[in-house]
Amino acid sequence: MPNVILISHTPMPEHTVASAAKLCYSSSDIKDLRENLTDEKAAAFVEMLAEIGHESPIEHASFTFGIEGVSRAFLAQITRHRMASYSVKSQRYVNESSFEFVTPPEIAGDAEALRLYKEAMEDDCKKYNQIADILKKKHKKTFLSEGKDEKTAARMAEKKAIEDARFVLPNACETKMIVTMNARSLYNFFRHRCCNRAQWEIQEVADKMLALVTAVAPELFKKAGPPCVVGPCPEGKMSCGKAKEVKQRYEEMRKNG
């Protein structure tokens, strides 16, 4: 199961966004922008931006998440959101000789599928270790012949070996990452990934991220989520047909904090 934490965020994010918005419509000096800016006034500015579609000021609020217990398949999806910063556990430098893996719920719910799945994971792990051992011996011999000492040769050989052995690792292989997005990018992310048509793993992470940012910036994210939360579903014939239920679920999420 994915674990998501909010590591840090722009202090008083809604005030920061409101200050940026005030700058666009005021002749005040920058140092005066936050003067007399109450929570209520900040919320009003955020609401105004949403109403007129002026989105650039919300880019000044950013949020950094720690995400773990997710698959490499998830990594391939989240990095399609390019207006973000990512730091990911490296399979090139981290030995995966006993890697953890993510099991899709549909597989976990079927005994025969789960048995085959676990066998595949065990086989991948076995082949990874076998290939890594073969390459380590080969590379260590080369490094020793080049004059490296025993300890250095062994360390360099392992690193070089796992660079290539990782190619047999499955999409299910567990990874972890730190992700930073600004509020505007998060809105786009939630629009696509909170939708029922999103893949189950990234939808679960997106829901957790949305709950976390809503707790610290409720006005800023009160209209965030899949498109059907604030308007009609854009999916046409591919719609899940559950817009009412989805809207209710996100209303309850915001209500329960």
Measured CA to CA, the distance from residue 212 to residue 215 in angstroms comes to 5
Q: Among the options 193, 197, 249, 254, which is catalytic?
A: 193
C-alpha dist (Å) from residue 224 to 169, 187, 211: 36, 6, 10
In 112-140, which positions are buried (b, 16+ CB within 10 angstroms) versus exposed (e)? Answer: eeeeebeeebeebbeebbebbeebbeebb
Query: Distance of CA 254 to CAs 58, 222, 223, Å?
Result: 20, 8, 10
CB 207 within 8 A of CB 192: no
Contact between residue 210 and residue 225 where contact means Cβ atoms under 8 Å apart: yes
Beta strands 62-71 and 85-88 are unpaired
Task: Tell me how long the chain is.
Answer: 257
Q: Which residues contact 241 (CB under 8 A, 6 or more apart)?
A: none
The conformational region for residue 222 under phi > 0 = left, psi -120 to 50 = alpha, else beta, is alpha
d(CA 252, CA 232) in angstroms, rounded, equals: 19
35: alpha, beta or left? (left if phi > 0; alpha if psi -120 to 50): beta
Q: Is 82 a catalytic residue?
A: no
- Rounded CA gap, 156 and 206, in Å? 39
Catalytic residues: 193
